[in-house]
Every structure is written in C-alpha cells, then in structure tokens.
Structure 1
Amino acid sequence: MPLEDELHHKPQAETAGEQHAGEDQGDYTTHSEVMGWCLYSWAAEPFIVSAVSTYVPLLLEQFARENGVRLDDHSKPCIHKEPIDVTPLPPPPDSTLPETLMLFKRREHVQYIDTSSYALYTFSISVAIQTLVVISMSGAADRGHYRKQLLLMFGVVGAIVTMLFRLISSERYYLSSLFAIVANSCFGAVNVCGNSFLPILVSNLKPPSSSRDSVVSNGNQFTKISGLGAASGYISALIVQIMTMLIVIKTGSTTLSIQTAIFVVGLWWFVFQLPLAMLLKSRPGPTLVLKPDQNALLQYVRYGWHTLFVSIKHASMLRDVLIYLLGWFIVSDSVVTINSAAVLFARSELLMSTPKLVIVGILSVLFAIFGSLTVPYIQRLFKITPKGSLLCVIVGASVIPFYGILGFYFYGIGLKHEWEMYMLAVWYGFILGALATVSRSLFAMLIPKGKESTFFSLFSVTDKGSSILGPTITALITDKTHNIRYCFYFLFLLLIIALPIYAMLDVERGRQEALELETVDEDE
C-alpha cells in the first residue's frame, strides 16, 4: 500500500486496520494539535534567538578576554585583574593595530586567536557534533512512536544544560564551550523532530487537501501552518528577550548577569515541555523490525545512518530536492553567520554594551514575528509562489552584508554608528521570520510522504553542515585581518551565488517526482 494512503485517516471499517501499529486511529489534525506543534517552537526558539544569537557569543567573548592577552603586548592581560601565566613576547611588527583587538592564548602552546573568533570556532564545532546527533536519531524518529519522545527528551536535556551555564566560572571557561556544544546539538535534534511533523499535520487537515496539483494553493497551507509555528517561536523569544534584558540591566551588565540570562532561557525551555507533551500527538510511523539478539539502540542508530544514505540516494532521484538543498546549504550558512558576525562586530568595533545588544535582539525578534505572520498573506495577496517568495527573501538578506561593505568606502554610513545596528536589526528580523516560514513550507512540498523525518534530517544536515563552514571561515578572516568587517564580503558573495541556483528550481516538477518516489521501498 502506498505510504501516501497510510498517512490519511480512513474512517471506513475495512481500511482502519491499515493504520500503522500504535497510530492514532481516525484523527484528523486538530487546532489543539497545531497548538501543541507550535509549542515546540515556543519552548525552544528562545534558545537559538536569545542564547545562541545574543548571550552565548557575548559570554564566550568575555571569558576569552578574561583569560587572554593583548594584541599589542602579549605580556599584558586583556583585563587587568589577577596576573596570568604568559611568556612575554616581542610586539608584532605592525604597531598601528587598534588596542581594542585582543587575543586568547592556549595554555600549552603560544597559539593566538582573536577573542571574537573563539565564539565562532565553538559554534562551528557544536554544529559538527549536532550533525552527527541529528543523523543518528533521525531513523528512530521516523520509526514507531519515537518522534515525539525524542523531541521531548532532547528538549529536556538541552534545557538543563542551558541552565548549567549559570554555574561556570571564568577559570573554567572551556565548560561554556562544552555546554554550548551539547545544548546546540539538542536543539538541532528538537528542530528536526519538530519540522518533520509539519507535512504530516498538513496531510491530515480536514478536509484533506485535494489540490496537490496547485503549487500556490497547497503552498499556502504549508506556509500558513509553518508561519504560525515560526511566529509562536519568535513571540516566545521576544518575551524571553525582554525578561532577560531587564535582568541584565538590573544586575549591572556583568558576566554573571549574562549567565543568569542564559539560565532563564533554559528554564523557559524546560517548563514548556509539559504542555507540549500533552497537546502534541505522536503521529507514529511504521514500526522498525528489530533483531532480538542485537542492541535496540544501536539498531536505531545504524538505521538512522542507513536512512541518511537512502535519502541521499532518493534525493539524487529528485533533482529539485538537490537544487533546493544546494541553495539552502549556501543561504542558511550566510544568514546564520550574519547574526553572529553582526553581534561580535557591534561588541568589538562599535563597543556597544550588553543591554544595547539585547535591544538589537529584541528588535530582530519583534520584526521576525511580523515577517513570519505577514509573508503568508503577502504570498496569497499577490499570488506569489513559495519559490518566488524565497528568491525575494534572499535578495533582501543580501542587503545586510552589502551595507556593512559600504563602511570601507564611506565615513558616515556602513555600520559606523549604533543607530545603524538598530536599523539593520529591524530588517534582519523581518528577513529571518520570512525565511523561517518560506523555507520549511517549500521543502515540505518537495519531499515524499512517509519519509518526513528522514528528509528533514537531510535538510538539517545540509543546514547545520553549512554552518560549520560559515563561522569557521569568518573566524579565519577575522584572525587574518583583525577586522571582522571583511567577513561581509564573504557573506554577500554567498547570497548572490544562491540566486541562480534557486532560479533553476521547478516546484511542480519536484512535487510530481516526490509522488512517484512515495511508493519506493526504503530498502531498495
């Protein structure tokens, strides 16, 4: 029986037995279930928007300063407090380098990196680990009733580790990198499980959609629900960002205040696991037949890697999925890195304080909500296809690094003043919300039913795999030039390259190929 039929409710008695074992019998997607799905974004999104995008980079950079030495004199610490064990070295030949650039020193060897690069390298490693975790758990998410269980389990672990940031001391700064890696890996797993629910929820809407032949009509259904999820996450992040800003202002913008803000983000993530568990249905897939003489966990992990290779094989049969993933590899890398680079640029070049940077984050989140909610209506009003919407969003995103590049050629504009950061925060937020809404809905239209977690794990691997390169290259550019502004050239080029790639995408052809692949057995 085709997997497409298995995912739809069949009220007739003669077809009821064809449901997967343990599957909810006869349930269409309900409003409460959509609300439960939105809760996964509500709980987890503050981690990526508030913690990863604002507080964790600032904390890592601050710890690097507290344990580092000056660029112009390696015998002097960045921050004058207790003496640190460094071997005096002659100053670099170029004495014109700004004194605000400071370097972090590894204990065993005289190896220096810029304090801004320390956070970027940490995120690159965390994304690499996250990719391995996502692949290993994706098979279990697609088989049996584990999709929801894994979402909750990784949510709880990620929340607890995020709260543990509160206990880190400056002398044990390396723990902040470790916790960032673990928490970010958990968020990636949660994101894959949550995204894989989207095509299932749309497929089971009442009445079931009969418009698979209409790209615009069916795309609106995906975009609407995806937009609700994105908006709920950004609204949640906005609330948390305001709460944490008040904490930072009240406690004096210290390192401890930043750690307390991260703790609040983790606590928020943890608390909302309970209502999520109550409202979201399991929506199980087909059961994986396990060998009784082998460890069950290892079998699921092996299956996860097996399904990755199978999905790569299947994706090779879906030319438009390949086009989409290639473009997404580039776009996601640049958009994510833009945020980290902008925050570190504002801290090191514009010398903006933590409360001001939190306000920048609030503006981004506020307009991300606006973007995620308005894009579906704009798309429907002007009858724009999801592909057209994505191309417009990419062009809009390229404005941000281009504006940073202008700073090389003009004295008055190009990220030379604090007010420019606030202006770009508004624009970046709108672009981020629009991208979160359009990207998921467009990809969900291209993948075969019954393989949601597998293909969304491939989507996540592409997303996160690219995010290893962006921060790493940005860090290398910063280490080489000691001027983070040069990174804007790299980020602008990435977005421009993505435009002709997505121009080749044919959504209608991709949907037809996905329909044909739905009947292909995974083990072939």
Structure 2
Amino acid sequence: MPLDLPLEEDADADTSFDVTSQTPLVSSYNKSHNNNNPDAIESSPSSPFTSKLEILGWCLYAWASEPFIVSAVGTYVPIILEQIARDNGVKNSDKISPCKGSRNEPVPRPPPPGFQLTNSNTTESVSCVLPVLNGKIYIDTSSYALYTFSFSVLVQTICVISMSGAADRGSHRKSLLIGFAIFGALTTICYWFVRPDGYYMASFLAIVANSAYGCVSVCGNSFLSVLVNNSAEIRQLTEDSSDRSSKWGVLSSKISGAGAASGYVAALIVQVGTMFMLILIKNKTNVSSIMGPIKTVIGFVGLWWLVFQVPVSTFLKPRASPDLNLDNLHMPAVGESKYWLRMAHYKWKVVRAYVLQGYKTLVLAFKQASQLRDISFFLLGWFIVSDSLTTINSTAILFAKSDLQMTTIQLSRISILAMISAVCGSIIIPNYIQPRFNVDVKTMLIFIILWSVMIPFYGILGFYFKRFGLHHSEEMYLLAIWYGFSLGGVATVSRSIYSMLIPTGQESVFFALFSITDKGSSILGPLLVGVVIDMTHNIRQCFWVLLALLLVSIPVLWYGVDINRGMREATALSEDSPTEERSP
C-alpha cells in the first residue's frame, strides 16, 4: 500500500542536515567496542534518513512472521493440540472409555444445515479429558491448548527479558531478529515429525516457537520509533515544536499501519494457501484423521517464515546504538594455549554480560516506567486489552471446533475472513477514519475496544436466546469479520501510541516491557479460561470473563493516559539517561 512519507530514497546517502539541536536517536560510540561487536556500524548525530527500502524491510519482517501467529498459533496449533489431546483422551464420566473421534475412529463429518446443539452436548457426561502426569491430572481437551499457550508465554517472557539487553546494543537488534526468526521457523517445521501420541511434543514445539516469535516481535516493534525519529519530516522539527506530537503520531500510525497490513496480507495469503492444501490433501488421499493434514500446513507456515528472512536481512538496516562496554573482559589471542577453550569461555562471559544487562536494564525500565505515569497506565490498560483479544481468538476456535462441530476447512475460512477484515482495519483506521474525523490515537483506541466488546457480548446472548448467540456456524463467519477489523485497528493504534511514549535510545528495552505486557497477559487469560472450562466443561461461560476484561480496560486508558504529557516526560527522561554503561 502506498505511503505518502517524506523519506529519502537511499538511507546510506550522506546528509548535511544539522541535527545538533535535536536529540539524536543513535549516539556515537567508541570504536574499541567494535572488537566485541564486529558487525556494528558506526553512527553519528547525522545518521542517514529513513529510506523507503528500510521501511519495506521492516514491513517484510511482519510479512514473514505474522502468518505464524495468525495462521499457525491462531488457527492450526489449537486445532492440533485439541485433536491430539482428544485422540489420546478418555470420557470424563468414567476416565476409561476413549473419546469419540479419537484416532481409531473416523473423523466426524460436518453437521447438516440447520443443526443446533442441545444442552446435553455440553454436559460433563460427554466431555473429554486428557490424562497427564501418568493419570494424576485430567485436563479437558479444549483447555489443553489454552494451558499450553499460557505456559509458552511464561517461557517467552523469560526469553524476551534475557535478550532485551543485547537488542539495544550495537547492531544486535537486527541480528537477534533474524536469528530468532530462523530458530522459530525451524521449530515450526518440526511439526511434520509429531507422532499421533506425541501431545507432549506438540506442546513443546508450540512453546519454543511461540517464545522465538515473542523475541522477534520485540526486536521488530522496537524499530518503529527508530524509523519515525530518523524520517526527514520528524528530524526537521524541533523538540518544542507545537505540531511535533501530531505529526509524530500521524507518521507513526502510517508506518505502523503499513507493517500491520503487510503482516495481515501475508497471513491471508498463507491462510488461503493452507486451506487449499487441506482440500487437496483430503481429496487426493481420503484421510480419516486431520492430524496429517494439519501437521503439513503448520510446517508450511514455518517454511514461509524461514524463506522470507532473506529479503528482511537485505533491506532492514542495523541502525547501531551505543554498544555495551566489555573492555574488562579479556579476549584470548590466537596462539594462546587452549585457545578454543578460552575463546568459548570468553564468549560465554559476553553472553552472560548481555543477559545480565537485559535484566538490569529491565529493572531500570520498570523504575523509569513507574516514573512515567502515562506509560504505566497505558501498559496496564494494554495488559487487559491484549489479554482479552488474544484469548478471544483461541477460545473462539476451540468453541467452533468442539461446540459447533466445525471442520478444519471451515475454521480456515473463518481465519481468512478475519485476516481480510484485519487488513481493512489496519489500512482504513489510520489512513481514513482517523484523519477524516480528526480523531486522536487514544480516542481511536477506545472506540476499537468498544467495537471489540460486542464479540463476547454476542456469545453471552446464547445463554438467553436459541436463534442467535453463536448457536450456528454461520454466525462465526460474521463475528470473524467483526473481530478482524478490531484486531487490525488495535494492532496499529496501540503500537503507535506506545512508540510515542517511550524514551529515545531505549526502544528495545521499553518494547520488551510492551511485549511482556502484551504476551505476558496471555499467561492469565488462557489460564483463567482453561480453569473455567475444566470447572464447567462449557466454553460459553468464558465469554463472561472476556467481556469483563474489555470493559475494565476502558477507564484505565481514558483517564490514565495523556499523550502530550507522556511525550514530554519521555523526552526529559531520554536526556537524563547515560549513553554508555559498563558490563555487569
């Protein structure tokens, strides 16, 4: 999609633009640090302007990774986790009898038109549970995927904190983005080798791949403020310019919207492709189990993620930052005794220094965030919103599969509709609705949350009405369009708001906070929903929790966040921050 941005065509071209009166995003650092980071590029206060190719490279990061979180995690991984749990599960009534639809029985066909479930379909007597830990614990097969995602976010949070110290140092941000993306892609491809009884293996791969995606997301999101601050339009404005805040917000929303839209377009392409792959496999092989086809398409998503790292690494620039001072560490010279052992020990100390720096800077970021009122309230509100929207997606997929008896191909169509709507939302909201009605970014976010509230509310209506309220599969298609539009909008606007509030030069650390808030909230949501399912064996009850969470977030964001005040506080904090630190 076209972006009307005042950017230089060549980011590597020299510029005589005087930025001595500006707060430089990238500070110069001592050349001696290059011994510890040979890939780092030397920067100066007159760093190159953001180019269109650089923005393209950033958009391609979302193009490569978004199909994983949308298509794999959002659609197929919950299905395969629920199915593999059901294949190895037993009926809750006697804890002995195999569940209907297990691998020794044919896969249930889609229900006939007009089919409507009765209350007996959701009673405890017909529910299916998976025995884990040698039968010590029985988990509802619908909640097994939710528990997996909850634990994966816990692991992801630890990984994000551990790598955040290196992401803001030298040119490591780009290297970490590419490295974790390759690792996550290869892990996703490993789904091809999951056995029919390998529910532990399927969960392990989901945890590892999702953790890698979290690290990629932190590195990628932290590039947004870098791109905006280095644009020609923003660097020509003074810090006290009256229209700096509004121009920053508009430009940030446009670039963020372009990235979000490219990710959703890629997810749409992959979703359509995987749906046709499922149809082709079904017609060619006449399979009686969905396990094989689902493993095939998940591996394909990993392959997509892997292949597109080539253009990302080509167009995205490192944008070096001050490197961590490691002069106190002795690098062994070639020819020393036990050189390889000494070098390995040196590398370990370097890695440990960066990891410790990640935790140290994160603690500092928490302290700084606590001093920045607007960031604190935004993160609290975003914690609740992200938790709700993330859990809505996985809950809806599991609800459609187990309660509405929708097939994998039908669920894939739902995801396709959601992605089309998300693309529309990420383009229409920042480029048409927001400027047309002159709506500021905070008000726009509140409107999107109110739009999202209708999704769990509609599911709750099913308790009181039989003709509507998610009793029929056709309703899922309409809700997918509604959900997708809100998802595209919230992804664009929230990232834009947060990038306006963070201190300059600490993008990766503060976006690590954003990721911990974003993904960390997913520990709570799926866990709560999983507990509700295990207690009631009725997924519809979860809509009450999701509705309450979304409503609570509105006053937190509306009364707690002031964009202009937050930008002033972030600028003051960045000016007071030291530019160089020694390793721990």
The two structures have a TM-score, normalised by structure 1, of: 0.93
Which structure 2 residues correspond to residues 47-86 of structure 1 after superposition, within 5 A? 47-78=68-99, 79=101
Aligned residue identity for 1:140: A
Alignment partner, residue 300 of structure 2 = 264
| Aligned-residue offset at 1:110 | 3.7
Residue 356 (structure 1) aligned to one of 402, 407, 410 = 410
Residue 203 (structure 1) aligned to one of 210, 215, 229 = 229
Tell me if 1:32 matches 2:27: no
Alignment partner, residue 513 of structure 2 = 458
- Relative distance call for 1:221 and 1:67 in structure 2 (3 A) is same
Cα distance per residue 1:439-488 (max 9 Å; x no partner): 00000001111010010001111111111000000000000000010000
- Relative distance call for 1:392 and 1:95 in structure 2 (3 A) is closer
Alignment partner, residue 365 of structure 1 = 419
State the alpha-carbon separation in 1 of the partners of residues 368 and 122 from structure 2. 56
State the alpha-carbon separation in 2 of the partners of residues 415 and 245 from structure 1. 23
Alignment partner, residue 514 of structure 1 = 570
- Relative distance call for 1:481 and 1:213 in structure 2 (3 A) is farther
Residue 23 (structure 1) aligned to one of 32, 42, 51 = 42
Question: What RMSD in Å do the two structures reach over aligned CA positions?
Answer: 2.2
Residue 382 (structure 1) aligned to one of 437, 446, 449 = 437
Aligned 8 A contact 1:161 1:266 in 2: yes
State the alpha-carbon separation in 2 of the partners of residues 378 and 354 from structure 1. 35
State the alpha-carbon separation in 2 of the partners of residues 61 and 181 from structure 1. 15
Alignment partner, residue 322 of structure 2 = 286
Residue 234 (structure 1) aligned to one of 257, 264, 267 = 264
State the alpha-carbon separation in 1 of the partners of residues 267 and 19 from structure 2. 47
| Aligned-residue offset at 1:213 | 3.7
Aligned 8 A contact 1:100 1:348 in 2: no
Cα distance per residue 1:325-368 (max 9 Å; x no partner): 00001000000000000000000100000000000000000110
State the alpha-carbon separation in 2 of the partners of residues 500 and 492 from structure 1. 14
Alignment partner, residue 396 of structure 2 = 342
How many equivalent pairs are there?
506
The two structures have a TM-score, normalised by structure 2, of: 0.83
Aligned 8 A contact 1:29 1:201 in 2: yes
State the alpha-carbon separation in 2 of the partners of residues 82 and 419 from structure 1. 30
Alignment partner, residue 219 of structure 1 = 249
| Aligned-residue offset at 1:11 | 2.9
Which structure 2 residues correspond to residues 94-113 of structure 1 after superposition, within 5 A? 97=123, 100-113=126-139
SS of aligned partner of 1:207: helix
Aligned 8 A contact 2:27 2:321 in 1: no
State the alpha-carbon separation in 2 of the partners of residues 96 and 36 from structure 1. 48
Query: Where do 5+ consecutive residues of structure 2 fail to align?
Result: 1-13, 32-40, 106-119, 283-288, 331-345
Alignment partner, residue 340 of structure 2 = none
Query: Where do 5+ consecutive residues of structure 1 fail to align?
Result: 1-8, 84-93
Instruction: Specify the structure having the higher radius of gyration (Cα).
Output: 2
Cα distance per residue 1:108-146 (max 9 Å; x no partner): 234211101100000000000000000000110001110
Aligned 8 A contact 2:272 2:416 in 1: yes
Residue 545 (structure 2) aligned to one of 490, 494, 503 = 490
Cα distance per residue 1:279-337 (max 9 Å; x no partner): 00001111110130560000000000001000011111110000100000100000000
- Relative distance call for 1:67 and 1:317 in structure 2 (3 A) is same
Alignment partner, residue 188 of structure 1 = 214
State the alpha-carbon separation in 2 of the partners of residues 11 and 173 from structure 1. 60
| Aligned-residue offset at 1:74 | 2.0
Alignment partner, residue 526 of structure 2 = 471
- Relative distance call for 1:13 and 1:459 in structure 2 (3 A) is closer
Tell me if 1:250 matches 2:280: yes
Alignment partner, residue 90 of structure 1 = none
Aligned residue identity for 2:420: L
Residue 315 (structure 1) aligned to one of 369, 389, 401 = 369
State the alpha-carbon separation in 2 of the partners of residues 390 and 160 from structure 1. 36
- Relative distance call for 1:207 and 1:23 in structure 2 (3 A) is farther
State the alpha-carbon separation in 2 of the partners of residues 45 and 394 from structure 1. 22
- Relative distance call for 1:406 and 1:80 in structure 2 (3 A) is closer
Alignment partner, residue 411 of structure 1 = 466
State the alpha-carbon separation in 1 of the partners of residues 19 and 478 from structure 2. 60
Alignment partner, residue 44 of structure 1 = 65
